[in-house]
């Protein structure tokens, strides 16, 4: 489990399957390819969560289904010793989103900025990567202590959880091993008044 407090920095499956099959969404999607974006922005409304995507540079929030994240050729790089946990050889081609703001690529992170102390029973909200569909593997890691946050190569399980505290804002480094279209499903959960509440979001990434 990866704990991050404040740092300076059913229908879902059907929809993903339809997009993979080449169906055209019934709404206009916004493509985000650079700048500061919180891919999971957690909001608590009484006894339920609502997960948004927040594009900081645009000052806009979106429903997850309204956005396509483009990991463009500016992110083209190689597997390093720090990212080799995704199972690809060091030096092989990969697409990397750094943990610091970089011109021309996404600065992608996670936010519980809307949560205040006491909003959840233990002042924690958990973000689990529960599903991945795509041509390769994905890994996220902490650029400071090099701990792995999410890793699809060894299978998604109870280790693939990021824990955020109130007002948390966290940006790891990302790596994708292959070009193509990915769908990542995240489940957000927390204890509120003794009951577990959850929300789920599936995000689309186009790499290369």
Q: Give the whole-number percent of the chain exceeding pLDDT 90.
A: 84
pLDDT confidence bin for 7, thresholds 50/70/90: very low
User: pLDDT-derived band of residue 27, with 50, 70 and 90 as boundaries?
Assistant: low
- Could you give the count of Cα atoms lying within 13 Å of 151 in the half-sphere of its Cβ? 18
Determine the average pLDDT of the residues in 55-60.
Answer: 95
User: What is the pLDDT of the chain when averaged over all its residues?
Assistant: 89
The pLDDT of residue 3 is above 50: no
| This prediction's pTM | 0.86
pLDDT at 46 over 90: no
pLDDT at site 47 = 84
Torsion of CA 59, 199, 176, 140, to 10 degrees: 90
Q: Over range 1-29, report the average pLDDT.
A: 42
d(CA 62, CA 47): 21
pLDDT band, very low/low/confident/very high, at 2 (cuts 50, 70, 90): very low
């Amino acid at each position: 489990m990866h704990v991050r407090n404040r740092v300076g920095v059913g229908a879902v499956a059907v929809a993903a399957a339809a997009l993979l099959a080449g169906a055209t969404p019934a709404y206009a999607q916004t493509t985000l390819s650079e700048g500061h974006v919180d891919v999971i922005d957690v909001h608590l409304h009484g006894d339920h969560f609502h997960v948004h995507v927040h594009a900081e540079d645009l000052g806009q929030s979106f429903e997850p289904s309204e956005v396509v994240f483009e990991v463009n050729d500016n992110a083209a790089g190689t597997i390093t010793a720090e990212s080799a946990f995704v199972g690809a050889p060091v030096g092989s081609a990969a697409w990397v989103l750094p943990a610091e703001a970089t011109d021309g690529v996404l600065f992608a992170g996670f936010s519980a900025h809307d949560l205040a102390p006491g909003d959840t029973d233990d002042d924690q909200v958990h973000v689990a990567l529960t599903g991945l569909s795509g041509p390769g593997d994905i890994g996220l890691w902490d650029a400071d202590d090099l701990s792995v946050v999410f890793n699809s190569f060894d299978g998604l399980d109870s280790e693939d959880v990021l824990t955020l505290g109130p007002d948390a804002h966290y940006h790891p480094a990302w790596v994708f091993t292959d070009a193509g279209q990915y769908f990542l499903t995240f489940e957000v959960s927390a204890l509120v008044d003794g009951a577990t509440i959850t929300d789920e979001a599936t995000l689309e990434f186009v790499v290369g």
